[in-house]
């Protein structure tokens, strides 16, 4: 304990604020330290003198009360009027908690209405997947897009139909390819003018695979397959879409159509 | 049965001058002795005691019945003493004890010791002196002192400890403890 802490304990002892264990510890400390025992005696003496004085109050002298009462002007003092306190008890419907509940319910209701309206709009504009083709970048369906041309080829080994249409933002190619053995179809374009967006396999056999690069889409085909190839029409400038068919790496068909005419 | 303070206050507020007189009877000596110990001068203490009761009369309408009357009027007394102390230029040296203890003969050891004790109280700064007076002459608890001085119990404890220690050290220098 520091000196200050010991002094505090000494005064607390005089005030009767120490617990039994604290008192015991302090007494032990005083027994072991005569200097602190002497300090405690000094404090006790000072306290003793004060305690003697507590009950020795000096008389005020005669006439103090009369002097006070004479100086009090009764007329000056106005007894506060005990006006009845009017407390308006708010009605149930005007209580803050009820008002809050109103606002809360109204908010929920408004949210619900907005949700239902929005939900209704979504459902009404929902179209089948087939009808959505060509509508990614603009609102026109494939039927309403401008035709660049249809490339058709038929041989005993392979038959194909490639329908190319475009709008200001989209070029869509619908390709049907049929071959008993493996053939490779390749659609080529200028990557500065058009960029590959999506190749949708509408109906594809397991042996068929599609590979797309920045300037072409290659389809290794076996069986009867259908594809939708969507390209971004970047510039709206005249450009060619090339269509080639290879069998055993040997070109069997080549044609091209012009977009943005 | 003795009526309690708040009942007397209530009746005074209803215009009963006699009940205010009862409150004066009840507290004038304590207030006077607080003032005497705080100012160290008999005439000043008497004048200030009058001022305290006049002020209490004027402010009685603002008394809140949830508080104890004595803590309210002690508070007025202390404020009066503090205001007086601010205006006062010098502290009047204590030449004789302010006690009414008849046991002390003049020039006895006890008389001398009480003179030193009162002189030491007068040397304390006012907020310490107030606590010493409330503790030793009004016999208030720490909680009651905190209520009167509008401060925390912790502050009261800390300040009273400082006041007691300042007095002890001051008295030690004046050989107060050497006579034993």
Find chain A residues with C-beta within 8 A of B58's C-beta. 76-77
Q: Which residue of A has its CA nearest to B115?
A: A49
| Residue found by looking up tokens 């009605």 in the block | A91
Measured between alpha carbons, how far is residue B158 from residues A47, A244, B78, B152, B161 in Å?
Answer: 18, 100, 19, 10, 5
Span of A42-46, A139-143, B88-92, B109-113 with lowest mean pLDDT: B88-92
| Residue found by looking up tokens 């007189």 in the block | B21
| Residue found by looking up tokens 């009761």 in the block | B53
Over residues A56-96, the pLDDT tens digits come to: 667 777 788 888 888 876 555 555 555 555 555 667 777 78
ipTM of model: 0.81
How many whole angstroms separate alpha carbon A173 and alpha carbon A178? 16
* Sequence ranges of the domains in chain B: 1-92, 94-180
* Sequence ranges of the domains in chain A: 3-49, 142-259
Q: Smallest Cβ distance to A42: which of B28, B100, B177?
A: B177
Find chain B residues with C-beta within 8 A of A54's C-beta. 136-137, 139
Q: Smallest Cβ distance to A69: which of B21, B30, B172?
A: B21
Per-residue DSSP letter, A256: E
Quick check: A72 and B20 CB within 8 A? yes
CA distance A26 to chain B (A): 18
Domain A142-259 falls under CATH 2.60.40.740: yes
State whether residue B44 sits within 8 Å of chain A by CB.
no
Over residues B36-72, the pLDDT tens digits come to: 888 888 888 899 999 999 999 988 888 888 888 999 9
How many whole angstroms separate alpha carbon B69 and alpha carbon A61? 24
Domain B94-180 falls under CATH 1.10.600.10: no
State whether residue B20 sits within 8 Å of chain A by CB.
yes
Quick check: A60 and B28 CB within 8 A? yes
More confident site: A53 or B135: B135
Q: What pLDDT, on the 0 to 100 scale, is given for residue B105?
A: 63
Q: What is the DSSP string of A142-210?
A: GGGSEEEEEEEEE-SSEEEEEEEEE-SSEEEEEEEEEEEEEEEEEEE--TTTEEEEEEEEEE--TT-EE
The fold adopted by the segment(s) B1-92 is Rna Polymerase Sigma Factor; Chain: A (1.10.1740)
Give percent of chain A above pLDDT 70. 84
Find chain A residues with C-beta within 8 A of B129's C-beta. none
Quick check: A46 and B167 CB within 8 A? yes
A208 pLDDT exceeds 50?
A: yes
For residue B50, give the nearest of B69, B32, B70 by alpha carbon: B32
Over residues A6-50, the pLDDT tens digits come to: 999 999 998 888 899 999 999 999 999 999 999 999 999 998 888
Q: Which of A49, A51, A81 to mutate to test the interface with B (most CBs of B within 10 A)?
A: A49
């Amino acid at each position: 304990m520091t000196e200050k802490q010991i002094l505090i304990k000494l005064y607390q002892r005089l005030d009767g604020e120490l617990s039994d264990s604290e008192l015991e510890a302090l007494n032990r400390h005083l027994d072991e330290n005569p200097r602190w025992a002497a300090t405690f005696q000094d404090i006790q003496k000072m306290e003793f003198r004060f305690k003697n004085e507590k009950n020795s109050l000096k008389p005020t002298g005669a006439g103090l009360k009369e002097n006070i009462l004479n100086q009090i002007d009764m007329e000056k003092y106005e007894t506060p009027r005990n006006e009845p306190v009017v407390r308006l008890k708010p009605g149930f419907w005007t209580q803050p908690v009820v008002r809050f509940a109103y606002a809360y319910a109204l908010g929920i209701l408004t949210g619900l209405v907005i949700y239902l309206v929005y939900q209704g709009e979504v459902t009404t504009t929902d179209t089948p997947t087939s009808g959505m083709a060509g509508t990614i970048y603009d609102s026109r369906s494939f039927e309403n897009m401008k035709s660049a041309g249809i490339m058709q080829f038929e041989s005993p080994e392979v038959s194909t139909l490639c329908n190319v249409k475009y709008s200001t933002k989209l070029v869509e190619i619908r390709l049907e390819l049929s071959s008993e053995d493996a053939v490779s179809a390749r659609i080529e374009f200028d990557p500065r003018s058009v960029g590959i967006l999506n190749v949708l396999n509408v109906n594809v056999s397991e042996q068929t695979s599609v590979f797309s690069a920045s300037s072409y889409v290659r389809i290794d085909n076996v069986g009867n397959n259908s594809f939708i190839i969507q390209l971004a029409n970047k510039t709206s400038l005249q450009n060619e879409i090339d269509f080639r068919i290879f069998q055993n790496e040997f070109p069997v068909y080549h044609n091209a159509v012009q977009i943005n005419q | 049965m003795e009526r309690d303070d708040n009942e007397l206050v209530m009746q005074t507020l209803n215009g009963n001058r006699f009940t205010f007189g009862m409150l004066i009877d009840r507290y004038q000596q304590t207030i006077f002795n607080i003032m005497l110990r705080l100012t160290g001068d008999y005439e000043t203490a008497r004048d200030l005691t009058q001022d305290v009761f006049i002020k209490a009369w004027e402010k009685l309408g603002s008394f809140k019945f949830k508080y104890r009357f004595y803590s309210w009027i002690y508070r007025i007394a202390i404020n009066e003493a503090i205001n007086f102390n601010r205006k006062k230029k010098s502290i009047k040296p204590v030449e004789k004890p302010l006690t009414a203890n008849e046991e002390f003969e003049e020039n006895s050891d006890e008389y001398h010791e009480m003179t030193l004790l009162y002189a030491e109280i007068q040397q304390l700064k006012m907020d310490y002196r107030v606590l010493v007076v409330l503790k030793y002459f009004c016999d208030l608890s720490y909680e009651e002192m905190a209520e009167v001085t509008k401060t925390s119990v912790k502050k009261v404890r800390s300040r009273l400890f400082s006041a007691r220690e300042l007095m002890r050290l001051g008295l030690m220098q004046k050989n107060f403890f050497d006579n034993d």
